[in-house]
Chains A and B, each alone.
Chain A
Amino acid sequence: MSDVINLNLQVWRQENENSDGDFHYYSMKDVPVDISFLEMLDILNENLTKSGVEPISFDSDCREGICGTCGFVINGVAHGPMARTTVCQLHMRHFKDGDTLVIEPFRATPFKIVRDLVVDRGSFDKIIQAGGYVSINTGNGPDANSILIGKEDAEEAFDSAACIGCGACVASCPNASAALFTSAKISHLLQLPQGQVEERARVKSMVDKMDDEGFGACSNHGECEAVCPKGISIKNIANMRRSLIKSIVK
């Protein structure tokens, strides 16, 4: 295996929310296999800048796979071909020499395209604002130990809380549903005593907000779990549904 590869990139470029986008084609020569996907785009952008072309806009922040800022779709899969990996942690060694990569932004009606590969995921914030929090002051550090929580519950709650809100679940869902994101937040609070107090009001309010924002309904394709960088399980979606049934029945 050589240490450098050549790639053909097909990148979605769009001026702003209201303009029509289209694909632009770039060929990349001698890409080191040890750099990340975003670093590869950085190199491309440097070359574009030197030749007087507007560089490609994309989001990134921590570049260590924990912040949830980066993300786009590579060859029809959100965050690219590696499981449990964000694009910033996706390395070029996973691609072959001569590959053609189609790069598109996360597409969903509630995710407006800001520019090129940058989308506005503000609708996720609105879902959180609809109830993804605990209204009371739960105290300081030592107070966390005043209510004992079983190891299993703590682990489960943490697994749900691992969601970084990148939006890959919506991007990969054939229905552009935000069920995995919303349910992870609901499920996280549902499994802890501090969150259980407001359970019924929360689930109703957050589900309604998710619908209002224009996300689709979950059809259990499970594609979200497969692309999720944190491997959030669709078990959370089942939890959300049970919780919603409970809020109606009781």
Chain B
Amino acid sequence: MANFITVSSVLKKIIIAITGISLFLFLIVHLLGNITIFTGSPPGRDFNAYAHFLESFGILFTIAELGLLGFFGLHIITALYTNFINYKSRESRYAVSNFAGGKSKKTYASTSMVITGVVVMAFLIWHVLQFRFGPYYETIYASVNGGEPVRDLYRLITEEFSNLWVVLGYTVSLSLLSLHLGHGFWSSFQSLGIYGKTFTRVTYSMSYLLGLIISLGFLVIPLYIFWIN
């Protein structure tokens, strides 16, 4: 690939779209994995077993983590750089800016992608520090890891989500994520040149709903843990 800076604006958006849709798929896998929080006995057994299962891939797991980091990095850097170019392309701002309505897909979500994106990025750093690199508790289940100790992530999430401020922080961040996904989902297809009269209408009308469903799906966990405690 040519020098990153000189890659055309269209290609930059294609990079943002490919990484974006991949991260979207990651979120769905992450969300499905989270279901294990609600199953198993004693509470947390399935969740800790699932986490242990992922970690048991060893080097492959590390490669997957680094790959994910790379996708996030590429998505964020390309988007921030594009945003900088976009800002420069209108040096004198309008005194009044409005929505044309009709066929326009401009929304508060679409015009604040960089803001919601930066907040979600800050949230992700916090989230990873909180759990991936958080306190290491251990527990033992007879049926998991042959009775050897495994990481007790369930205990960590119950501790963290008992804190009202943490739950509020998650609520705000995940609400903004829903807006980010709302514009991002349909928009990534358009950025890849995938347009069809029906296809675009369907993906666009699904987009904000999908964003909301995914965010609510994630939000259920802190709210549920906070509630039962």
Q: Contact at B89–A73, with CB atoms within 8 Å?
A: no
B58 within 8 A of A: no
Q: Which of A76, A109, A207, A248 contacts B98 (CB 8 A)?
A: A76
B12: nearest chain-A partner, CB-CB: A217
State in angstroms the CA–CA spacing of A243 and B192 once bound together.
10
Band of interface residues on A: 35 or more
Count of A-B contacts judged by CB separation below 8 Å: 147
B90: nearest chain-A partner, CB-CB: A176
A95 to chain B, nearest CB (A): 15
A172 within 8 A of B: yes
Q: Contact at B8–A244, with CB atoms within 8 Å?
A: yes
Q: Contact at B9–A242, with CB atoms within 8 Å?
A: no
B194: nearest chain-A partner, CB-CB: A238
Cβ–Cβ < 8 Å partners of A104 in chain B: 94-96
- Known A-B contacts A219-B110, A220-B190, A238-B195; the reply to A226 vs B104 at CB < 8 A is yes
Contacting A at CB under 8 A, from B51-107, are 82, 85-86, 88-106
Q: Contact at B95–A241, with CB atoms within 8 Å?
A: no
Q: Which of B10, B104, B192, B194 contacts A222 (CB 8 A)?
A: B104
- Known A-B contacts A215-B89, A216-B86; the reply to A241 vs B104 at CB < 8 A is no
- Known A-B contacts A219-B113, A225-B103; the reply to A241 vs B191 at CB < 8 A is yes
A2 to chain B, nearest CB (A): 26
State in angstroms the CA–CA spacing of A3 and B105 once bound together.
35
B173 within 8 A of A: no
Interface string of A175-197 (1 = CB under 8 A from B): 11101000000000000000000
Contacting B at CB under 8 A, from A124-139, are none
Cβ–Cβ < 8 Å partners of B86 in chain A: 174-177, 216-217, 219
B187 within 8 A of A: yes
State in angstroms the CA–CA spacing of A154 and B89 once bound together.
35
Q: Which of B9, B97, B183, B200 contacts A218 (CB 8 A)?
A: B9
A214 within 8 A of B: yes
B13 within 8 A of A: yes
Most buried by A among B89, B101, B190, B192: B89
State in angstroms the CA–CA spacing of A211 and B12 once bound together.
12
Q: Contact at B90–A107, with CB atoms within 8 Å?
A: yes
Contacting A at CB under 8 A, from B166-207, are 183, 186-187, 190-195, 197, 200
Q: Contact at A102–B96, with CB atoms within 8 Å?
A: yes
Interface string of A108-121 (1 = CB under 8 A from B): 11100100000000
Q: Which residues of B contact A (CB under 8 A)?
A: 8-14, 82, 85-86, 88-106, 110-111, 113, 183, 186-187, 190-195, 197, 200
A-B residue pairs in contact (CB < 8 Å), sample of 10? A107-B93, A172-B100, A176-B89, A177-B86, A211-B8, A214-B89, A221-B104, A223-B105, A237-B190, A244-B8
Q: Which residues of A contact B (CB under 8 A)?
A: 12, 21, 23, 73, 75-78, 83, 102, 104, 107-110, 113, 172, 174-177, 179, 204, 207-208, 210-211, 214-223, 225-227, 231, 234-235, 237-245, 248
